[in-house]
Amino acid sequence: MNDVMLDLETWGTGHNAVIVQVGACYFDRHTGEIGRTTCENIDARESIAASFEVDASTIYWWMRQSPEAQRSVTGDSEYSLVENMNRLNDFMSQAKRVWSHATFDWVILMNYFKKLGIKPKFHYRAARDLRTLVDLANLEYGNRPRVGTHHNALDDCIFQVGYAVECLNKLKEK
């Protein structure tokens, strides 16, 4: 498997938003089988100290999310900010394609790597956009049943794999 699904939970919506949780999983793009996974919380205080930004409207949005989602992203971080980003970089090093909402997750992650002086171990051309994929496949995924905690980065990755694979298979049939 060399496709990776990436999801970030943040306390902002801009390119410099504080990341509070990263999730990623390798998956088989034909079957949807999930391979290796990672999910780590990131201490927001470290990100703020490193000049990343919190957006008040996003904090208010988080306050309206489920208690499970809130607990998910506010749990303790095992590693420092730089260690977390290096661990994610190592995890993604075998990725040929990195799927995400490329105008959001990818942009924020690349900004983190740049500001922290981390050279990505995957090619910049690996970026793949879920929104474009959904549009090309003309897929309605809003009624798809959720499993796990909505707005837990790894649970969101696994959910996104489901509809990405459906889109890829639908496009392959055409």
Q: Which residues contact 24 (CB under 8 A, 6 or more apart)?
A: 4, 5, 6, 7, 37, 38, 39, 88, 91, 92, 153, 154, 157
pLDDT for 143 equals 83
Q: What is the pLDDT of residue 142?
A: 79
Q: Regarding the domain delimited by 3-173, which CATH topology (the fold level of the hierarchy) does it fall under?
A: Nucleotidyltransferase; domain 5 (3.30.420)
Query: Can you give the pLDDT at residue 100?
Result: 98
Question: Mean pLDDT per segment of 10 residues, for the chain of length 174 residues?
Answer: 97 98 98 98 97 98 97 95 98 98 97 98 96 95 88 98 96 88
For the chain, what are the domain ranges?
3-173
pLDDT of residue 60: 98
Query: What pLDDT sits at residue 93?
Result: 98
